C-alpha cells in the first residue's frame, strides 16, 4: 500500500548550532514537518552529539514535533529524561534493545510515539513481532554515526519489505528513512512505501532550505 502523506524531517545534526534559533525558524517557516534529533553516545555509534539539554532547548524554539533518534546503548536508561525534555517521537535501535517490546511500551507510557530503528545490516523481520505496537519504523539507509554519507541503494528494496511487514500487521506506523536523502534518492524511497524522510545536509546545506524542503516534497507528490 502506498503512503499518502509526505513528511520532511530536517536533521539538526547538519544545522549551524551557532545559529540554532534562526536555523529552526527557517525550517519551520519553510514547511518542515518534524525536527529530527540525532542523539549519539560514542558507544553504539562512533560519534558523540548531544543529549536531553539540547532537545529541551529546541522545544522552546520550535513548535515542530521533535523526532528523537536514540543511537545509544541501553536506551531504556534515558527514555524518561528525553520524554521530559519534550520528545514527541522516541525511536530506539533494535540492535540496542533486546527487550524491544517492553521498551516500546515504556515509550508509550511516557506519552511519546514509539519507534524502532533498523541498521542497514539488520533484517526488517526483526520488528515483525512488534509491528502492531509501532508508531514509527525507521529504516537506516546509511550506517548511523555521521551525517553526509551516501545512500545505500539496497535500502529501497528494504523499505518495500518494511512496508509489507507493517501492512501485514495492519499497522498504521509511519515508515521513515534516514541517511543520504537527497533529490536523487527520495522518490525511490517514496515509491517503495516510505512516508517520512530525514534530510540533514540536503536541507541545511542548501542555499535556500525552504525551497529544498519544497523540492524534496514535490519529488514525492509529483509521481504519487
In the annotation, is 195 catalytic?
no
What is the number of helices (H) and of strands (E) in the chain?
8, 8
CA dist 38 and 91 (Å) reads 10
Place of cell 517514496: 190
Interacting positions 68-127 with ligand DX5 (CB under 6 A): 69
Q: Is 158 or 164 the residue whose CB approaches ligand DX5 more closely?
A: 158
Question: Which one of 33, 38, 41, 67 is the catalytic residue?
Answer: 38
Map residues 124-153 to x or -, x wherever contact with ligand DX5 holds by CB under 6 A. Answer: ------------------x-xxxxxx----
Terminal Cα-to-Cα distance of the chain (whole angstroms): 12
Task: State the binding partner of 148 from Zn ion, ligand DX5, none, CB within 5 to 8 A by kind.
Answer: ligand DX5
Considering only the stretches 10-18, 79-87, 105-113, 155-163, report the one whose residues sit in contact with ligand DX5 under the rule CB under 6 A.
Answer: 10-18
CA dist 37 and 69 (Å) reads 6
Q: Which of 6, 7, 8, 11 is close enough to bind ligand DX5 by CB under 6 A?
A: 11
In the annotation, is 167 catalytic?
no
Phi/psi class of residue 12: alpha, beta or left (left: φ > 0; alpha: ψ in -120 to 50)? alpha
DSSP 176-187: EEESS-STTTHH
* Residues that bind ligand DX5 in the complex, under the rule CB under 6 A: 11, 13-14, 36, 38, 69, 142, 144-149, 178-181, 198-202
Catalytic residue set:
38, 178
Amino acid at each position: 500500500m502506498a503512503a499518502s502523506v509526505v513528511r520532511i524531517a530536517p536533521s539538526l545534526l547538519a544545522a549551524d548550532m551557532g545559529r540554532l534559533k534562526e536555523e529552526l525558524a527557517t525550517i519551520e517557516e519553510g514547511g518542515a514537518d518534524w525536527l529530527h534529533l540525532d542523539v549519539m553516545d560514542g558507544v553504539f555509534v562512533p560519534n558523540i552529539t548531544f543529549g536531553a539539554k539540547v532537545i529541551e532547548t529546541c522545544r522552546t524554539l520550535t513548535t515542530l514535533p521533535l523526532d528523537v533518534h536514540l543511537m545509544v546503548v541501553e536506551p531504556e536508561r534515558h527514555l524518561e529524561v528525553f520524554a521530559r525534555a519534550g520528545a514527541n517521537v522516541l525511536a530506539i535501535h533494535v540492535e540496542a534493545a533486546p527487550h524491544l517490546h517492553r521498551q516500546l511500551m515504556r515509550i508509550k507510557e511516557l506519552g511519546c510515539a514509539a519507534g524502532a530503528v533498523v541498521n542497514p545490516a539488520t533484517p526488517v523481520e526483526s520488528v515483525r513481532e512488534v509491528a502492531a505496537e509501532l508508531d514509527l519504523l525507521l529504516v537506516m539507509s546509511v550506517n548511523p554515526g555521521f551525517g553526509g554519507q551516501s545512500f545505500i541503494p539496497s535500502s529501497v528494496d528494504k523499505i518495500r519489505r518494511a512496508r509489507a511487514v507493517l501492512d501485514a500487521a495492519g499497522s498504521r506506523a509511519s515508515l521513515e528513512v534516514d541517511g543520504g536523502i537527497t533529490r536523487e534518492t527520495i522518490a525511490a524511497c517514496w515509491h517503495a512505501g516510505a512516508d517520512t524522510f530525514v534530510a540533514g545536509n540536503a536541507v541545511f546545506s542548501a542555499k535556500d532550505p525552504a525551497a529544498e524542503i519544497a523540492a524534496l516534497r514535490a519529488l514525492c507528490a509529483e509521481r504519487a
